[in-house]
Amino acid sequence: MPDSENPDSGMPPAVSPSAAVPPGSGEPGGALLALEGVTVRFGGRAALDGVDLAVAAHETVCVLGPSGSGKSTLLRVVAGLQPPDTGRVLLAGADQRGVPPHRRGLGLMFQDHQLFPQRDVAGNVDFGLRVRGAGRAERAARVAELLELVGLPGAGRRAVAALSGGEQQRVALARALAPNPRLLMLDEPFGQLDRGLRERLVTELRALFGRLGTTVLAVTHDQGEAFALADRVVVMRDGRIAQTGTPLEVWRRPADEFVARFLGFDNVVAATVTGTAADTPWGRLPVPAGSPEGARRLLVRPAGVRPAEGAGGLRCTVAGRVFRGHHVAVRLRPDAAGAPPLEAEWPLREAPEEGAEVGVRFAPEEIVVLG
Amino acid sequence: MVLARPEVTPEAPAPPDRTAARRPGRARRAAVRAGLMVPPVVFFALFFGRPVAAIVGRGFHDGGSWRPGRLAEVLGRPEIRDVLWFTTWQALASTALTLLLALPGAYVLARFDFPGRRLLRAVVTVPFVLPTVVVGTAFLALVGRGGLLDELWGVRLDTTVWAILLAHVFFNYAVVVRTVGGLWAQLDPRQEEAARVLGATRLGAWRRVTLPALAPAVAAAALMVFLFTYTSFGVVQILGGPAYATLEAEIYRQTAQLLDLSTAAVLTLTQFAAVGAVLAVHAWTVRRRETALRLVDPATTARRPRGAGQWTLLGAVLASIALLLLLPPAVLVARSFGGPEALTFYRALQDAGASGGTFLVPPLQTVWNSLQYALAATAIALLIGGCAAAALSRDAGRLVRGLDALLMLPLGVSAVTVGFGFLITLDEPPLDLRSSWILVPLAQALVGVPFVVRVMLPVLRAVDTRLREAAAVLGASPWRVWREVDLPLVRRAVLVAAGFAFAVSLGEFGATVFIARPDNPTLPVAVARLLGRPGALNYGQAMALSTILMVVCAVALLLLERLRTDRSGEF
């Protein structure tokens, strides 16, 4: 997508930010999308359990969670493909109960794209316009414009079966964007792409959505994608919202042990917090001032586990090391009985050999007392 | 920006009317499904259930009282026992022989890549849609009195059971090639390779990996062949002579010649029970066949034969196809031109008087009659079968799924009974169709519907629900979704279904022989009548008429073969 490097080139009036703002979403403070106490049950199991969520116009919200946490069901409820058992879905303030999917004016990009196999690329992209009765010339212009936008100019006559995974993804995006949806939803948008392409597309999409002023609700299980794409991240667990905040907030202060572990942090132990210190199986650790006190769970980010000078600190044996490029992930087994293993990130030249005896100290700025 | 609450509010108690109020879409879908089921249910009730019930009822109802004892009495008769015994063993023998000859063919056509493979696949399918009367006539020309073998070596098989068995193989070869070969071509060869790498011998890998995967398909094919041969009528009628009669042929004799309705009714019930049992087993194997197999694109699994063994196998299969499937029709065509002049028999078809008062119209006229009937029957079958397939494909429950096996019943229930039932139930207002031309297409559509459902259902079920959802989210109304997503994907299947329905309607014999009016016979009926008369001219005309019928069916099928999708059903 060359466009993303040059945001102003060829930006068509029809998709300028002002044109993309749907009526009714402009009032200050009013959420474009609001879910109120939405519950969906499959059999006895709640896929969504009293979910409240709001998305403001022009905002990109990413729902993050492991598989089975209810992310896709959330999108299906908003799209009208799955009626909620209880609760309401409001779009621009209007209750969507009983409104069928085709009258909601949304865009949804399916996990595996779901391009129409019997139509070519143009036939897929202009589908939403055709069912709305747009004229041939208008459709052709819009298709050309969108294919340009997603970096596939002139691909209109190609068969969808002949497209690569990345190209299909772009066509699916163009198809979802073509009718100017007031809200664009993405279901695991990069799930099937290889890593390099995925990282490039995330960056490109973020730039594109910023330029078009698109309101986006995406779901993914990949924290990297979520953090790169979203203005705001919503972490889900078992159909409930576990935490919400900007990527930075969630990364720096995971709300609980589940969120911390889901983000890949494994140094979580029980702790008794008093003032700026906490008693843990790893010894007495410093904690940031103002942390909640009492019996808590405590997270030490790997970057907060440092080699101690001299013979001080917690004595550990190096149980394993994995080369990660910029750093080495070191797995430490504390000598103290009953202390769980520790994960640490050390620069390559400081990393000790496997089996070595080391002392570690803890940096308070990398320690989080969980809620 | 926003406000999402991390802490979860205690859940409010669910309103009591939740289940009733919450899924308006579900109720509507159920209504649509019910609506779609109405035409098939009405059609089958009026034109299948009622005629069959009436015939069976008459058989057991006598002088104001029911006589269930007749069942035991009829089945106790030695000659009826002979019929039952012959029907069963010839069906078993036909099935075994078909599997023996057609399984190598299925393998070769699935896994070997050679020039003309596509054409050959189409060619072996042609016999399946040929009218049974044509098949019988072709074998008569080959192994009958004055047939090719008789002329060359003085060998006649038409008074032996071999003629029937060979004709049954001819007819059902395609069932095995389609059902087993279709799956075989899609089995991932890497599964066998994985077994080889794990230490299995070539044969061991085949036995432990491929055979278990194929077994349900082989069972399903065997059951279909058994079903078709158990109810065989046209072939037995022409080749069996007085010595051999299947249940269906005996029902015809009891009904049409001896007017013994009560015996016919018992036999109908017996056949019904046997067919029902076979179909139940069939439905079970089909369900097992749907268990997860790794399927791949058939184009990727075929390889050129390698080594003497594989070339020999290919040669043997080609030779058996030539002898079994190509020779009989070829002889039929040759015989049809075998009059004093090449076109004598064809010319005679234009003259009603040439066959000594057999016909009120020139036999050639029956070609047009048959085409018109078959077109009408195809339209009916598409409408009824299309509705049924659409209803069955919509996230149906287990009960509804069972219905699709039920729709196969007309293939197995005595066509003779249906035809005679038409005459005695559709003769009074408001449904007095006895003198209407629509009677014939209605009966023919009965056998066409199962084919339409079989072809359409897998394709409809294969349409990904999320494609429909994608269209709906993009703004397409339900009707628009059907038109834009479903219809284009099933269009080819509709054409294939139409072709099958057309071919089987054209060849339908058992029911049509009862209800076609004397002044408007169909082609198969005319062929049977010509064969029933003495004289070389009648015999030659039967050959000529059969040739015309065969060409019409073959052309229809070969056109379809170009449209065929790999998903379109199992026939």
pLDDT at B17: 39
pLDDT in tens, A29-67: 468 999 999 999 988 888 899 999 999 999 999 999 888
Residue A243 contacts B where some CB pair is shorter than 8 Å: yes
A350: closest CA of chain B, how far (Å): 40
> Does the structure show a pLDDT above 50 at A17?
no
Q: How does DSSP assign B296-358, residue by residue?
A: --GGGT-B---HHHHHHHHHHHHHHHIIIIIHHHHHHHHHHT-SSSTTHHHHHTT-GGGGSSS
Strand ranges inside B359-472, DSSP E: 427-428, 431-432
> Are B11 and A234 a contacting pair at CB < 8 A?
no
Q: Are B414 and B70 in contact (CB under 8 A)?
A: no
pLDDT at B27: 66
> Does the structure show a pLDDT above 60 at A5?
no
Pick the range with the lowest mean pLDDT from A100-104, A174-178, B306-310: B306-310
Chain B residue whose CA is closest to A110: B470
> Are A98 and B14 a contacting pair at CB < 8 A?
no
> Does the structure show a pLDDT above 50 at A4?
no
Q: Are B524 and B464 in contact (CB under 8 A)?
A: no
Q: HEC profile for chain A?
A: CHHHHCCCCCCCHHHCHHHHCCCCCCCCCCEEEEEEEEEEEECCEEEEEEEEEEEECCCEEEEECCCCCCHHHHHHHHHCCCCCCEEEEEECCEECCCCCHHHCCEEEECCCCCCCCCCEHHHHHCHHHHCCCCCHHHHHHHHHHHHHHCCCCCCCCCEHHHCCHHHHHHHHHHHHHCCCCCEEEEECCCCCCCHHHHHHHHHHHHHHHHHHCCCEEEEECCHHHHHHHCCEEEEEECCEEEEEECHHHHHHCCCCHHHHHHCCCCCEEEEEEECCEEEECCEEEECCCCCCCEEEEEEECHHHEEECCCCCCEEEEEEEEEECCCCEEEEEEECCCCCCCEEEEECHHHCCCCCCEEEEEECHHHEEEEC
Residue after which a domain boundary falls, among A257, A292, A319: A257
- The sign one gets for the Cα dihedral B300, B305, B309, B314 is positive
Pick the range with the lowest mean pLDDT from B71-80, B139-148, B350-359: B350-359
> Does the structure show a pLDDT above 60 at B478?
yes
Q: Are A58 and A104 in contact (CB under 8 A)?
A: no
**Average pLDDT for residues B176-204, to the nearest whole number?**
75
B482: closest CA of chain A, how far (Å): 12
Longest dimension (CA), chain B: 98
Q: Are B157 and B149 in contact (CB under 8 A)?
A: yes
Residue A88 contacts B where some CB pair is shorter than 8 Å: no
> Are A132 and B480 a contacting pair at CB < 8 A?
no
Give the C-alpha separation, B530 to B238, whole Å.
Answer: 11
Q: Are A40 and A85 in contact (CB under 8 A)?
A: yes
Helix, coil or strand: residue B455? helix
Do A270 and A252 lie in one domain? The reply is no
Residue A290 contacts B where some CB pair is shorter than 8 Å: no
> Are B475 and A108 a contacting pair at CB < 8 A?
no
Residue type, B358: T
Do A277 and A330 lie in one domain? The reply is yes
pLDDT at B407: 74
**B99: closest CA among B173, B203, B163?**
B173
> Are B8 and A106 a contacting pair at CB < 8 A?
no
On chain B, the residues whose CB falls within 8 A of the CB of A79 are 469, 473
According to DSSP, the β-strands at A216-220 and A183-187 are parallel
The partner residues of A234 in beta bridges, in order of sequence, read A63, A244
Contacts of A50 (CB under 8 A, 6+ apart): A37, A38, A39, A87, A240, B8, B9, B11
Q: How does DSSP assign B45-67, residue by residue?
A: IIIIIHHHHHHHHHHHEETTEE-
Pick the range with the lowest mean pLDDT from A41-55, B48-62, B81-95: B48-62
A220: closest CA of chain B, how far (Å): 18
Domain assignment of residue A316, given as a range: 265-370
Chain A residue whose CA is closest to B14: A86
Residue A187 contacts B where some CB pair is shorter than 8 Å: no
**Average pLDDT for residues B23-50, to the nearest whole number?**
75
Residue B23's Cβ-count burial label (10 Å; 0-12, 13-18, 19+) is middle
pLDDT at B355: 53
On chain B, the residues whose CB falls within 8 A of the CB of A50 are 8-9, 11
Pick the range with the lowest mean pLDDT from A168-172, A206-210, B273-277, B389-393: B389-393
Chain B residue whose CA is closest to A81: B469
Residue type, B427: D
pLDDT at A244: 92
Contacts of A282 (CB under 8 A, 6+ apart): A269, A300, A314, A334, A336, A339, A342, A362
> Does the structure show a pLDDT above 60 at B7?
no
Residue B470 contacts A where some CB pair is shorter than 8 Å: yes
pLDDT in tens, B98-120: 999 988 888 888 888 888 787 78
**Average pLDDT for residues B67-78, to the nearest whole number?**
75
Percent composition of chain B: helix, strand, coil (DSSP 3-state, to 5): 75, 0, 25
What's the CATH code of the domain at A188? 3.40.50.300
Candidates B2, B8, B481; nearest CB to A49: B8
Give the C-alpha separation, B503 to B444, whole Å.
Answer: 10
What's the CATH code of the domain at A309? 2.40.50.140
Do A219 and A323 lie in one domain? The reply is no
Give the C-alpha separation, A334 to A357, whole Å.
Answer: 10
Enumerate residues 21 to 80 of chain A having a beta carbon within 8 A of any beta carbon in chain B: 31, 37, 39, 49-50, 52-56, 59, 79-80
Do A252 and A273 lie in one domain? The reply is no
Whether residue A299 lies inside any domain: the answer is: yes
Do A278 and A192 lie in one domain? The reply is no
Return the axis-axis angle of helices B50-60 and B261-289, rounded to nearest 10°.
140
Whether residue A275 lies inside any domain: the answer is: yes
Do A100 and A188 lie in one domain? The reply is yes
**Average pLDDT for residues A292-318, to the nearest whole number?**
86
Do A196 and A286 lie in one domain? The reply is no
Pull the structure tokens for residue B487: 């219809």
- Residue B495's H or E segment, with its range, is helix B487-507
Contacts 24+ apart (CB under 8 A), B194-203: none
Pull the structure tokens for residue A217: 């609700």
Residue after which a domain boundary falls, among A257, A276, A292: A257
Whether residue A119 lies inside any domain: the answer is: no
Q: Are A255 and A244 in contact (CB under 8 A)?
A: no
Query: Which residue shows structure tokens 């402009």?
Result: A26
Question: Looking at per-residue confidence, does A256 or A17 come out higher?
Answer: A256
Pull the structure tokens for residue B216: 């349900």
- Per-residue pLDDT band at A339 (split at 50, 70, 90): confident
- Per-residue pLDDT band at B93 (split at 50, 70, 90): very high
Candidates A53, A114, A255; nearest CB to B466: A114
A85: closest CA of chain B, how far (Å): 6
Pick the range with the lowest mean pLDDT from B210-214, B254-258, B259-263, B429-433: B429-433
Chain B residue whose CA is closest to A59: B1
Enumerate residues 95 to 154 of chain A having a beta carbon within 8 A of any beta carbon in chain B: 98, 100-108, 110, 112, 114, 116-119, 127-128, 131-132
- Per-residue pLDDT band at B405 (split at 50, 70, 90): low
Query: Which residue shows structure tokens 């139940």?
Result: B280
Question: Looking at per-residue confidence, does B141 or A366 come out higher?
Answer: A366
pLDDT at A61: 94
**Average pLDDT for residues A197-204, to the nearest whole number?**
82
- Residue B515's H or E segment, with its range, is helix B512-515
Give the C-alpha separation, B45 to B47, whole Å.
Answer: 6
**Average pLDDT for residues B88-97, to the nearest whole number?**
91
On chain A, the residues whose CB falls within 8 A of the CB of B22 are 83-85
Q: Are B256 and B405 in contact (CB under 8 A)?
A: no
Residue after which a domain boundary falls, among A200, A230, A257: A257
**B511: closest CA among B442, B425, B454?**
B442
Contacts 24+ apart (CB under 8 A), B334-337: B334/B141, B335/B141, B335/B540, B335/B543, B336/B540, B336/B543, B336/B544, B336/B546, B336/B547
- The sign one gets for the Cα dihedral B153, B156, B162, B168 is positive
Neighbours of B420 (CB within 10 A): 28
CATH of domain B35-63+81-563: 1.10.3720.10
The partner residues of B232 in beta bridges, in order of sequence, read none
Do A278 and A362 lie in one domain? The reply is yes
> Does the structure show a pLDDT above 80 at B358?
no
Q: Are A285 and A362 in contact (CB under 8 A)?
A: yes
Whether residue A310 lies inside any domain: the answer is: yes
| Residue to test with chain A: of B1, B474, B486, B565, most A Cβ within 10 A | B474
pLDDT at A53: 93
Enumerate residues 10 to 69 of chain B having a beta carbon within 8 A of any beta carbon in chain A: 11-12, 14-15, 18, 22-25
Question: Looking at per-residue confidence, does B316 or B130 come out higher?
Answer: B316
Torsion of CA B67, B72, B74, B80, to 10 degrees: 160
Neighbours of A323 (CB within 10 A): 10
Give the C-alpha separation, B244 to B267, whole Å.
Answer: 16
pLDDT at B359: 60
On chain A, the residues whose CB falls within 8 A of the CB of B6 are 241-244, 255
| Residue to test with chain B: of A52, A142, A143, most B Cβ within 10 A | A52
> Are A107 and B1 a contacting pair at CB < 8 A?
no
Question: Looking at per-residue confidence, does A1 or A207 come out higher?
Answer: A207
> Are B472 and A176 a contacting pair at CB < 8 A?
no
Helix, coil or strand: residue B206? helix
Enumerate residues 294 to 353 of chain A having a beta carbon within 8 A of any beta carbon in chain B: none
Pick the range with the lowest mean pLDDT from A35-39, A82-86, B29-33: B29-33
> Does the structure show a pLDDT above 80 at B160?
no
**A263: closest CA among A306, A218, A299?**
A299
**B540: closest CA among B340, B321, B319?**
B340
Residue B474 contacts A where some CB pair is shorter than 8 Å: yes
**B40: closest CA among B527, B461, B403, B323?**
B403
Whether residue A131 lies inside any domain: the answer is: no
> Does the structure show a pLDDT above 70 at A99?
yes
Q: How does the average pLDDT of chain B come out, rounded? A: 76
Size of interface A-B (CB pairs under 8 A): 119
Chain B residue whose CA is closest to A185: B473
**Average pLDDT for residues A266-295, to the nearest whole number?**
88
Residue B465 contacts A where some CB pair is shorter than 8 Å: no
**Average pLDDT for residues B181-210, to the nearest whole number?**
75
> Are A114 and B23 a contacting pair at CB < 8 A?
no
Do A93 and A233 lie in one domain? The reply is yes
Is the peptide bond prior to B430 cis by the omega test (within 30 degrees of 0)? Answer: yes
> Are A52 and B5 a contacting pair at CB < 8 A?
yes
Pull the structure tokens for residue B132: 């049974």
Provide the residue ranges of all domains of chain B, joining segments of one domain with +.
Answer: 35-63+81-563
> Are A102 and B467 a contacting pair at CB < 8 A?
no
Domain count, chain A: 2
Do A58 and A26 lie in one domain? The reply is yes
> Are A241 and B464 a contacting pair at CB < 8 A?
no
Do A283 and A245 lie in one domain? The reply is no
Candidates A31, A83, A119; nearest CB to B25: A83
Do A10 and A69 lie in one domain? The reply is yes
pLDDT above 90 coverage of chain B, percent: 2
pLDDT at B356: 55
Q: Predicted ipTM?
A: 0.74
A320: closest CA of chain B, how far (Å): 33
A188: closest CA of chain B, how far (Å): 15
Q: What are phi and psi of B42, to 5 degrees?
A: -65, -45
> Does the structure show a pLDDT above 60 at A3?
no
Pull the structure tokens for residue A144: 């050309």
B14: closest CA of chain A, how far (Å): 7
> Are B474 and A54 a contacting pair at CB < 8 A?
no
Helix, coil or strand: residue B113? coil
Angle at A307 between CA A303 and CA A309, to 5 degrees: 140
**Average pLDDT for residues A67-80, to the nearest whole number?**
88
Q: Are B269 and B56 in contact (CB under 8 A)?
A: yes
Pull the structure tokens for residue B209: 């990996």
Chain A residue whose CA is closest to B11: A50
- Calculate the alpha carbon distances from A341 to A320, A335, A365 in Å: 11, 10, 20
